[in-house]
Amino acid sequence: MSRSHPPKTHADWQALAASLRDEKGLETRAFIDDAFVEAASGETFATTNPATGETLAHVASCDAADAEIAVGHARAAFDGGAWSRLAPGRRKKVLLRLADLMEAHKHELALLDTLDMGKPVGSSLGDMAGAIACFRYQAECIDKLYGEVAPTGEETLALVLREPLGVVASIVPWNFPLMMTAWKVAPALAAGNSVILKPSEKSPLSALRLAGLAREAGLPRGVFQVLPGFGHTVGKALALSMGVDCLAFTGSTAVGKQLMQYAGESNLKRLYLECGGKSPNIVFADCRDLDRVAKHAAEAIFHNQGEVCIAGSRLLVENTIREAFIDKVVAAAETMQPGDPLDPASFMGAMVDETQYRRVLDFIRQGQEEGARLRAGGEALEGPGLFIPPTVFDGVTPEMTIAREEIFGPVLSVFGFDLEEEAVAMANDSPYGLAAGLWSQDIDRIMRVTRRLHSGQVFVNNWAGGDQTMPFGGVKQSGNGRDKSHHSLEEYSELKSVWMSLAT
């Protein structure tokens, strides 16, 4: 299928999927030192389409030996200076070229994510837009960030310089494979670092295709490398490596804690974490259009099959409107059923793999056993594929498992409240603090509640709004990193103070 006729229909996407498999094949090798190579051990792992159960490919399974080789090449590239000492404006041109190549291949990249982890192709296309925008934003930022001149006396001159850190290892999740890759890789590359990417073993294909595009864009040898494999093998090796200067991770809080230990056991490398969430979404009775709010509340949890770190999984509704509002949410959920991910009309796709599928179903069972009232969904769909419909529980209490644990699936827990103070206390009653939302027409209340919510980001009368200019990250056990915006560039740079004496 030519680029002049982009896929639009279900049949178009099916045809493109067939062409990727039959004509071009799928890149499955690691990308090390500007070349696609097999893992040093020769081992591979299978990546599977969760919508069909079909094995897509067998991908190189890297381990500690591959990590050591890649780190050596990354360090040599950094020390060589072909990228690290290149003028920011020239780095910008290369990254903009890469963004253009991503744009030209966006349907292929979107399809790879859809086949690999089961998300609807329309959602994957949205991810591509975000990934491309991220590369362009970071590229344009890098030659516009200045150092500083400190306010010293006449006989001295003090400069504060920004310099790249060195070798950055990025470990990204499977739920937004290429978009999360862009959020980590783009600012690290823009700042002049060498980057080693470890994609999730559940969704490695788009990262490997990106490697080929990065080489075509002109990134120097060894500056960008991709090591597919498992967290306990190659991921652990990168985290423990004395040659890695910074580790950027998006994933579970449990793994984030383990990576902090590895950083301490090795070279005390910088560590930026974006971890789990159990985000509250607060609806006050003064909202004007409850139908619209209910639709957004449903989308906040059911988008991407609920496999979203900021999913609005805890819905807090003022009791005076709760019953009527839940009815509206359930009605909205009925329009968001899972379907073939290659069908542009599908709102939800398949769960990423059997493990996640069983985990979500187990949480649903626990919710029923602990006394929550099931209002929608609750059972997997029959037939091939790992599909779970939107599930809504009412009558949830704070001590229930579904109220506290990050489910990472299409499961909504609804709570009621009477007073504003009660809503804030319930919202903050979580070890997580990644995102929060509130819906109200009262500007005074909005300002009060926004400041009191313990969250890295707060969405007011929307959910998941914001563009590349807005930092993304959490507090508490949701992590300490900041993706997007120029703040992410600061994470991948270090400040050097230079004090010059001008006295003779």
Secondary structure letter of residue 82 according to DSSP? T
Residue 2 has pLDDT above 80, yes or no: no
Q: What percent of the chain has pLDDT over 90?
A: 96
What confidence score (pLDDT) does residue 4 get? 52
Mean predicted confidence (pLDDT) in 491-497: 95
The catalytic residue among 108, 274, 318, 491 is 274
Residue 232 has pLDDT above 70, yes or no: yes
Separation CA 464–CA 195 (nearest Å):
28
Residue 5 has pLDDT above 90, yes or no: no
Residue 274 annotated in active site? yes
Nearest one of 212, 206, 164 to 188, comparing CA atoms: 164
Model pTM above 0.85: yes
What confidence score (pLDDT) does residue 210 get? 98
What confidence score (pLDDT) does residue 22 get? 72
Residue 180 has pLDDT above 70, yes or no: yes
What confidence score (pLDDT) does residue 504 get? 65
Residue 153 has pLDDT above 70, yes or no: yes
Residue matched to tokens 């644990």: 405
Residue 1 has pLDDT above 50, yes or no: no
Q: State the pLDDT confidence band at 24, using cuts at 50, 70 and 90.
A: low
Residue with the bigger pLDDT between 19 and 244: it is: 244
Mean predicted confidence (pLDDT) in 244-249: 98
Average pLDDT of the residues of the chain: 96
Separation CA 438–CA 372 (nearest Å):
23
182-186, 377-381, 383-387: which range is least confident on average? 383-387
User: Letter for the amino acid at 83?
Assistant: W
Nearest one of 219, 221, 226 to 95, comparing CA atoms: 219
2-11, 143-152, 236-245, 378-387: which range is least confident on average? 2-11
Neighbours of 307 (CB within 10 A): 24
What is the DSSP pairing of strand 224-226 with strand 432-433? unpaired
Q: State the pLDDT confidence band at 100, using cuts at 50, 70 and 90.
A: very high
CB 56 within 8 A of CB 115: yes
Going by C-beta distance under 8 Å and a sequence separation of 6 or more, which residues neighbour residue 196?
67, 70, 71, 74, 167, 168, 169, 170, 225, 226, 227, 238, 244
Count of alpha carbons within 13 Å of 247, Cβ hemisphere only? Answer: 33
The catalytic residue among 287, 307, 309, 491 is 309
Residue 42's SS3 state is: coil
What confidence score (pLDDT) does residue 20 get? 87
Neighbours of 23 (CB within 10 A): 8
C-beta contacts of 84-88 below 8 A and 24+ residues apart: 84/164, 84/192, 84/193, 84/194, 85/192, 86/192, 87/143, 88/142, 88/143, 88/190, 88/192
Mean predicted confidence (pLDDT) in 331-360: 98
Mean predicted confidence (pLDDT) in 287-294: 97
Mean predicted confidence (pLDDT) in 196-202: 98
Max intra-chain CA distance, the chain: 84
Residue 383 has pLDDT above 90, yes or no: no
Going by C-beta distance under 8 Å and a sequence separation of 6 or more, which residues neighbour residue 418?
318, 319
